[in-house]
Amino acid sequence: MSDKVLVEIDGGLVTISINRPEVRNAVDRDVSYGVCAAVDELDRRPDLRVGILTGTGGTFCSGMDLGAFLRGEVTRVEGRGILGIALTPPKKPLIAAVEGYALAGGFEAVLACDLLVAARNAQFGLPEAKRGLAAAAGGLIRLPRLIPPRIAMELAMTGALVSAERLYDVGLVNRLVEPGEALAEAKRLAEQIIANAPLSVAASKRVITEQRDWTIEESFTRQEAITAPVLQSADAREGSAAFKEKRAPVWKGE
């Protein structure tokens, strides 16, 4: 893997850091494929439970490397989009830890994550319209599903920056922290998730993600197909036994 992407594994947590601080962690081909490979490893390995996506040097990601784009370099993963997560987010939880700027494809990568921890002074934006481009890596689709559509419309059409505090107010940011604390807080959030049953976490993410397209009439039937195996699992019995016996559960993911 290129040194443009750093991967750290600690227990069940994998931290994936975009490492091009000299260009505000702009995404070239190596970065896209490096992050994609790390996310695939998260999904593939049963011992890995949660991922964190962040950037080095005090910023998250400024989006596509325009220099690479002008050279004709493909900065996305074929069939999967920027960083390999725009079209195909991981099945396991992925947390964005944002300091500094998350712009264009960087903001779209945040939107492909499940949770967002941001420094209070972080800035977000979809400036594609200012460059004759379009936020086609999920910005125009995911953002109006996650915040009020009129606010999403304004951000997409003006290309203006928006603060982490404003996005916290409209519900996009899960945890707002002081500058320099985003990664540490994201790790604390990850540990809370890791402490829970793997099957329960996976089913919860899947239902919450997929139910957006379900009708009310079919919702509970489709939910049952996903959650029934969880309720019948060995971990369900273990969780109940551990609660009754006043001890920490030992999850097996089965």
Residue by residue, DSSP assigns 128-175 as GGGGT---TTTHHHHHHHHS-HHHHHHHHHH---EEHHHHHHTT--SE
Are 25 and 141 in a shared domain?
Answer: yes
- Number of domains within the chain: 2
Are 213 and 134 in a shared domain?
Answer: no
Are 13 and 137 in a shared domain?
Answer: yes
CATH number at residue 230: 1.10.12
190: CB partners within 8 A, 6+ apart? 13, 49, 50, 52, 93, 95
187-212: pLDDT as tens digits: 999 999 999 999 999 999 999 999 98
Are 181 and 135 in a shared domain?
Answer: yes
Q: Is 145 contained in some domain?
A: yes
- 128, 191, 217, 245: the catalytic one is 128
- Mean model confidence pLDDT for the chain: 95
Q: Is 253 contained in some domain?
A: no
Are 232 and 135 in a shared domain?
Answer: no
d(CA 153, CA 63): 19
Q: Is 250 contained in some domain?
A: no
- Count CA within 13 A, CB hemisphere, residue 82: 26
Q: Is 53 contained in some domain?
A: yes
Q: Is 254 contained in some domain?
A: no
**pTM for this entry:** 0.95
> Any catalytic annotation for residue 108?
yes
Q: Is 72 contained in some domain?
A: yes
Are 40 and 147 in a shared domain?
Answer: yes
Are 62 and 159 in a shared domain?
Answer: yes
CATH number at residue 60: 3.90.226.10
Residue 108 phi/psi, 5° resolution? -65, -35
Q: Is 96 contained in some domain?
A: yes
Per-residue exposure over 149-185, b if at least 16 CB sit within 10 Å of its own CB, e if not: eebbeebbeebeebebebbbeeebbbbbbeeebbbeb
- Given 194, 218, 236, the domain boundary residue is 194
Are 213 and 158 in a shared domain?
Answer: no
Are 240 and 123 in a shared domain?
Answer: no
Are 229 and 212 in a shared domain?
Answer: yes
Are 220 and 181 in a shared domain?
Answer: no
Domain housing 146 = 5-194
Q: Which residues of the chain have pLDDT under 50?
A: none
Query: What's the confidence (pLDDT) of residue 123?
Result: 98
107-140: pLDDT as tens digits: 999 999 999 999 999 999 999 999 898 999 999 9
Are 164 and 209 in a shared domain?
Answer: no
> Any catalytic annotation for residue 128?
yes
Q: Is 99 contained in some domain?
A: yes
Query: What's the confidence (pLDDT) of residue 1?
Result: 57
Query: What's the confidence (pLDDT) of residue 177?
Result: 98
- 22, 108, 210, 217: the catalytic one is 108
Q: Which parts of 15-57 fold into alpha helices (H)?
A: 29-44
